[in-house]
Structures are given as structure tokens and as C-alpha cells.
């Protein structure tokens, strides 16, 4: 079971806030859908990010990497709508 759910989600949001300006500059964003008891975080790309062919790279090398570094309680990061391009 995850220790302090709301505290962890707050840390996740702080981590995402470092990345959001870059996403927003291109007309996109990302939102947290949930965090389960196994430490699996579900995210969803919004706006142009949901259709961008670079979203896989952005997810792996930006978002996932930063969240795992900033929030060690998160064991897995899942983007529900990565582009298939």
C-alpha cells in the first residue's frame, strides 16, 4: 500500500510542473489519471501531445525519467494515450 497518497500525488504534480511549460509551448499538456497501491501512475497526454509523433520520446526521456527521479515511490509510469506514429 502506498504510504501517503495525496503527498505522493503532490510530488508528482511538482515534477510534472517542470515539464509542462515545454508541453504547453507546443499546445499540449499532461494530466494525472491516478496512482494505485502498487505505485503505478497513470497519465494522459492532452492537446497536441496526444497526437504528436514525438510523444513516446517525450514520455520516456522526459516525463517518466523525471517522475521516477523526483518521486521514488512511483514504481511504474503508464501513459494511456501515447501516439502510435
Domains belonging to the chain, first-starting first, are 5-79 (3.30.300.130)
- For residue 82, which phi and psi values (nearest 5 degrees)? -65, 145
Distance CA 49, CA 23 (A): 7
Hunting for cell 508528482 — which residue is that?
Answer: 12
**pLDDT value for 85:** 47
Give the confidence band of 74 by pLDDT, cuts at 50, 70, 90: very high
Distance CA 39, CA 36 (A): 6
Model confidence over 14-71: pLDDT tens digits? 999 999 998 899 898 999 999 999 999 999 988 887 777 777 878 887 899 999 999 9
The 8-class DSSP code of residue 61 comes to I
Q: Is the pLDDT of residue 84 over 60?
A: no
Give the confidence band of 10 by pLDDT, cuts at 50, 70, 90: very high
Grid coordinates belonging to 17:
510542473
Distance CA 66, CA 39 (A): 15
Q: What is the mean pLDDT of residues 68-85?
A: 86
Amino acid at each position: 500500500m502506498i504510504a501517503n497518497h495525496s503527498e505522493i500525488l503532490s510530488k508528482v504534480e511538482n515534477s510534472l510542473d517542470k515539464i509542462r511549460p515545454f508541453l504547453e509551448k507546443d499546445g499540449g499538456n499532461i494530466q494525472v489519471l491516478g496512482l494505485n497501491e502498487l505505485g503505478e501512475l497513470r497519465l494522459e497526454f492532452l492537446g497536441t501531445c496526444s497526437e504528436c509523433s514525438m510523444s513516446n520520446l517525450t514520455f520516456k526521456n522526459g516525463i517518466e525519467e523525471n517522475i521516477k527521479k523526483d518521486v521514488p515511490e512511483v514504481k511504474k509510469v503508464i501513459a494511456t494515450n501515447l501516439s502510435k506514429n
